[in-house]
Amino acid sequence: MQEQRVMILTGCASGIGKCLSESLYREGHHLTLTDVNEKALQEVSRKNQWDPKRVVLQKLDVRKSEDWKAVIQTTLSRWNRIDVLFNVAGVIQPGFIHEIDLNAIDFHIDTNLKGTIIGTKLAAEQMVRQKQGHIINIASLAGVTPVRGLNLYSASKFGVRGFTLSVAEELKEHNVTVSVVCPDAVDTPMLTLQLDYPEACLTFSGSRALAVEEVGKVILNEALKKKKLEVIYPASRGWIAKLASVRPQLAGFLMSSLIRKGLKNQQQMKERH
């Protein structure tokens, strides 16, 4: 029988967070599931008929340390430990830097990066005390190579990736594992949002959008079970992204063809929706 562990997840009302919540519940774990949209989170729970003995639902604005402290305390009061934290919640707002509103800067950095840092810091305090734990942060392929038209999102995800790799070295001596997962475009509401923004065409330059279920399996198999430090999926796009990051001029050379492909795929996907 698989060990039942205590896990906290963010962004559970939709997308990857919702998928992970459902998978982990089926595996029998104890879960604190959070989202800034409390109503949507409650609806997900109602549809899944989750047992309240194993699931706690709590509103969490990841930008607020007070919310994070409340989630940590709720989990400890209920189960006395935290085995795994999944930092999944994220936002995206495409736009070129000379056209975006200044508020978009805080929107990305506070949610995607600051939220991950706060959650990691508070979970790490408890995990160091209990001498074990695992923190899994969801970044993006946009955190491996810069993406035109997604400058703030890319900056925030580069930050998540860099932060994760740094604290992984700090925490391993305390028996706390830290992983970062960098998927390509995933078919979630965040992807649908980008359909109306030509600036985001590079998001659609791959051969296909990844299904949320396959990304969920990759996170659970490669990060959670195998405890890999960094998971980039799919590997083929990951190697291209890393090469482009090391040799930015290569990305510039390919940019025109990638934009054309992305615009075509973006339009086709928009028509299907």
pLDDT tens for 114-124 read: 999 999 999 99
Mean pLDDT of the region 124-129: 98
Query: Can you tell me the distance from the alpha carbon of 270 to that of 273, in angstroms, rounded to the nearest whole number?
Result: 5
Query: Can you tell me the distance from the alpha carbon of 147 to that of 115, in angstroms, rounded to the nearest whole number?
Result: 22
- Side chain identity, residue 265: N
pLDDT band (50, 70, 90) for residue 271: confident
Structure tokens at 248: 């930015």
Mean pLDDT of the region 117-140: 98
Has residue 253 been placed in a domain? yes
The separation between CA 134 and the C-alpha centre of its own chain, rounded to angstroms, equals: 15
pLDDT value for 206: 81
* pLDDT tops 60 at residue 6: yes
* pLDDT tops 70 at residue 252: no
* pLDDT tops 70 at residue 250: no
* pLDDT tops 80 at residue 15: yes
* Angle at alpha carbon of residue 191, lines to 199 and 145, rounded to 5°: 60
Active site residue 153: yes
Residue that wins the pLDDT comparison between 94 and 237: 94
* pLDDT tops 50 at residue 254: yes
pLDDT value for 235: 81
pLDDT band (50, 70, 90) for residue 97: very high
Pairs from 226-232 (Cβ < 8 Å, separation ≥ 24): 227/134, 227/177, 227/179, 228/179, 229/165, 229/168, 229/178, 229/179, 229/180, 230/161, 230/165, 230/179, 230/180, 230/181, 230/182, 231/179, 231/180, 231/181, 231/182, 232/141, 232/144, 232/182, 232/183
Has residue 1 been placed in a domain? no
**Percentage of the chain exceeding pLDDT 90:** 81
pLDDT value for 239: 64
The separation between CA 104 and the C-alpha centre of its own chain, rounded to angstroms, equals: 19
Backbone CA torsion sign across 191, 11, 110, 175? negative
* pLDDT tops 90 at residue 243: no
Is 86 in contact with 9 (CB distance < 8 Å)?
yes
Query: Can you tell me the distance from the alpha carbon of 163 to that of 151, in angstroms, rounded to the nearest whole number?
Result: 18
Question: pLDDT tens-digit profile of 144-182?
Answer: 988 999 999 999 999 999 999 999 999 999 999 999 999
Expressed as residue numbers, the domain containing 192 is: 6-272
Has residue 19 been placed in a domain? yes
pLDDT value for 153: 97
Indicate the number of domains in the chain: 1
| Residue of 98, 162, 171, 102 whose CA lies nearest to 131 | 171
* pLDDT tops 70 at residue 132: yes
Instruction: Specify the pTM.
Output: 0.92
**Of 25, 153, 197, 233, catalytic:** 153
* pLDDT tops 70 at residue 1: no
Mean pLDDT of the region 239-258: 67
pLDDT value for 255: 75
**Residue 232 phi, psi dihedral angles, 5° rounding:** -115, 125
Is 36 in contact with 60 (CB distance < 8 Å)?
yes
Has residue 76 been placed in a domain? yes
Has residue 178 been placed in a domain? yes
Residue that wins the pLDDT comparison between 225 and 208: 225
Provide the 3-class DSSP secondary structure of residue 199: helix
pLDDT value for 249: 62
Among 37-51, 71-85, 230-244, name the one with the lowest average pLDDT: 230-244
Structure tokens at 242: 């890393």
Has residue 37 been placed in a domain? yes
Specify the CATH number for the domain of residue 153. 3.40.50.720
pLDDT band (50, 70, 90) for residue 248: low
Has residue 181 been placed in a domain? yes
Has residue 139 been placed in a domain? yes
